[in-house]
Amino acid sequence: MAKHTIITMPGDGIGNQVLPEALRVLKTVGFEADYIHADIGWECWCKEGNALPQRTIDLLAKHKLGLFGAITSKPNKAAQEELKPELRGKGYIYYSPIVTMRQKFNLDICMRPCVGFAGNPLNYIRKKAGSGFDEPRIDTTVFRQNTEGMYAGIEWTNPPENVRAALATHAKFKAFANVPGPDLAVSVRVITRSAACRIVTAAFEYAKKRGFKGVTICEKPNVVRETSGMMEETAKEVAKNYPGIALWSANIDAQLMWLNKNPEDYNVIVASNLFGDILSDAFAGLVGGLGFAASGNIGNEVAVFEPTHGSAPKYAELDPAIVNPIAMILSAAMMLDHIGEIEKADLIHRAIAAVVEEGKVRTYDMLRLSGGPKVISQGAASTPQMTDAILRKIETLATAQEHLHAVCR
């Protein structure tokens, strides 16, 4: 396999703590790659007025694969105040670099696996009808449309006259016709048939690969008739190409109720941008939360893998670092899967599963401690200690595998 070049974008805060841990893991599984650091995030905004500099865009365009840590974003007022004095008042506007990156490279497929590891004390448990509890095995992957929908960014408070005039052509706008401009906010939900088709197809392809029986589309077509309607209609069309896989449909609100009752029944869920964002966080909460939530932003050419969590600034300066590196490491394993390095990805998964199941090494979140420097003295593993445990497991598993190969030859 040709050697890959990976663009590493640690970004802000704990992004700088977890991304290097993922690189240690990639090295230990024998993944040979060149890594190029690229700048992204708050410091770029403050110094350059652009959180996603052109040089980073150029690197991604050239090398196509990225690992991203996390960024800090702040409301517009704080963004303006922290801008370098000579850049202030010059019309710079803060845009989230990750949203910009998704739109710029059309990373329209967002894949968010929410898979429980046995023995994780953070796993969802359910009270049985009689007495006792059970812990269903959750293996859900949410396919979230990543570039359109409510996050298309077409919105106004006090919409300009021509927009108001256009809205007024809709009979339902009569109810808002007298609202003063400054009191009226409008966000446009855009769905295109081609993007809907791509996200649903990605979900079905994944179900086929994993041998799952069905795909659930989560929208609200009975109320949001046009946009959710197009998602649902497209899903029905795409489903015809997959005769062995059922298409189930659940309204978004009902789905959030179902996931508290029988989350194990959902293996593949597909939704538009905002609904997918909500669903993936909700499912992630059932399998360990932010310390375990990995994701891939996948386009036709470029793909960027990242943990779902943010920069957690309150822990960013702690030495040793205390946050859980597993979400970042799982994101790196997703990248391996994406480029066909399936055995290496699998080795990482098995190593994490073994460490979690053994339960000897746990970061503060897994012990349900409130974060801070004292967690180490309370028995929590530091970020590098968690990675060390995973690396040791990788080595043990790899040796066992080699031994097996030798015996069976």
Which residues of this protein are in contact with ligand NAI, per CB under 6 A? 70-73, 98, 290-291, 309-314, 323-324, 327, 365, 371
Minimum distance between the CB of residue 305 and Mg ion, rounded to whole angstroms?
16
Residues 235, 200 contacting (CB under 8 angstroms): yes
Binds 277: which of Mg ion, ligand NAI, none (CB < 5-8 Å by kind): Mg ion
CB of 12 to ligand NAI, least distance (A): 7
On whether the CB atoms of residues 71 and 40 are closer than 8 A, the answer is yes
Binding range to Mg ion, per CB under 5 A, among 129-137, 151-159, 215-223, 277-285: 277-285
From ligand NAI, Mg ion, none, interface partner of 309 (C-beta below 5 to 8 A by class): ligand NAI
Rounded to an integer, what is the distance from CA 31 to the centroid of its chain? 23
Token pair 């696996």 is found at: 113
Question: Residue 310's binding partner, choosing from ligand NAI, Mg ion, none, with beta-carbon cut-off 5 to 8 A by kind?
Answer: ligand NAI
Closest residue (Cβ) to ligand NAI? Answer: 310
Q: 355: Cβ–Cβ under 8 A, 6 or more apart, which residues?
A: 361, 386, 389, 390, 393
**Angle of helix 54-63 relative to helix 97-104, nearest 10 degrees?**
40
Which two tokens mark 215?
A: 């795909």
Closest to ligand NAI by CB, 238 vs 380, is 380
| Closer residue to Mg ion, CB minimum distance, 148 or 277 | 277
CA pair distance 263, 145, nearest whole angstrom: 21
Query: Closest separation between CB of residue 167 and ligand NAI, Å?
Result: 31
Instruction: Select 6 or 294, whichever has its Cβ closest to Mg ion.
Output: 294
Is 379 buried (19+), middle (13-18) or exposed (0-12) by CB count in 10 A? exposed
Phi/psi region, residue 183 (left: phi>0; alpha: psi -120 to 50; beta: rest), is alpha
Q: From 33-41, 48-56, 143-151, 276-284, give the range in contact with Mg ion by CB under 5 A.
A: 276-284
Query: In terms of CB distance, is 122 or 231 closer to ligand NAI?
Result: 122
Q: Specify the length of the chain in residues.
A: 409
Output 15 or 20, the one with its CB closest to Mg ion: 15
DSSP H or E run through 141: strand 139-145
Q: Does 277 bind Mg ion (CB under 5 A)?
A: yes
Nearer to ligand NAI, 149 or 288 (CB): 288
Which residues of the chain form contacts with Mg ion (CB under 5 A)?
Answer: 277
